[in-house]
Chains A and B, each alone.
Chain A
Amino acid sequence: NAGVTQTPKFRVLKTGQSMTLLCAQDMNHEYMYWYRQDPGMGLRLIHYSVGEGTTAKGEVPDGYNVSRLKKQNFLLGLESAAPSQTSVYFCASRGPRTGDVLSYEQYFGPGTRLTVT
């Protein structure tokens, strides 16, 4: 049981390049989230998904797109990278329940450190 994994761990892009970050979870969780973490800003929600085939915007969605074609995967895309997108990106997932109890705690991946020059 690997939990939440993220690919790649590190990436350097030039302004205008595109890339996709992959998040995978093996806990059969319905909900998945993409956050970015910047110094002094805390974790900010980019996009999230409440189930396969559904996505929604979070707090800072501009410049990003997402897809959830399979329940276990959540992809984050940058179509034209900008230096302002230099950050550490975290994926998280959560299930609706832990046993018989409604559950809202999130399980995070190890992060992707992205630098845009």
Chain B
Amino acid sequence: EDQVTQSPEALRLQEGESSSLNCSYTVSGLRGLFWYRQDPGKGPEFLFTLYSAGEEKEKERLKATLTKKESFLHITAPKPEDSATYLCAVRATGNQFYFGTGTSLTVIP
């Protein structure tokens, strides 16, 4: 059964304190792993797509990496405006996407 698990469920960081969020997956035939950011009361906003193990993508303070079993979203020197829920999703065979339950990040000034 295709499954996506994110950890931790919640993370509190001091401003400037770097950390990583984890997304582990078990899917038959990975065809893409996606990271989204979701602010309270809004829809998810696309951040990154990763397709193969070893691939990395960066955007400002965020860096996403992918192995054969998991992905990490590294946050370097976070700021309060990085506070949000970060969602991971995978695309297996077909047109369906499976989402994790997210990591709620709070960055304290």
Contact = CB atoms under 8 A, between A and B. Distances in A.
Given A58-B96, A59-B96, A90 B101 contact: no
Interface string A29-47: 0010101000011111100
Contacts of A90: 43-44
Interface in A58-86: 58-59
Contacts of A42: 4, 87, 99-102
Interface in B25-72: 31-32, 34, 36, 41-46, 49
B100 A108 contact: no
Give chain B's interface residue range (CB within 8 Å of chain A).
Answer: 20 to 34
Contact of B43 (A31, A41, A111): A111
Contact of A41 (B34, B95, B101): B101
Contacts of A110: 41-43
A79 B4 CA distance: 31
Contacts of A35: 99
Interface of B: 4, 31-32, 34, 36, 41-46, 49, 87, 89, 91, 95-102
Interface of A: 4, 31, 33, 35, 40-45, 48, 50, 56, 58-59, 90, 92, 104-111
Closest 9 CB pairs of A and B: A108-B43, A43-B99, A42-B101, A105-B46, A42-B99, A108-B44, A104-B32, A110-B43, A90-B43
28 contacts: A4-B43, A31-B95, A40-B101, A41-B101, A42-B4, A42-B100, A42-B101, A42-B102, A43-B44, A43-B87, A44-B99, A45-B97, A45-B98, A48-B95, A48-B96, A59-B96, A59-B98, A90-B43, A90-B44, A104-B32, A104-B34, A104-B49, A105-B34, A105-B49, A107-B46, A108-B43, A110-B41, A111-B42
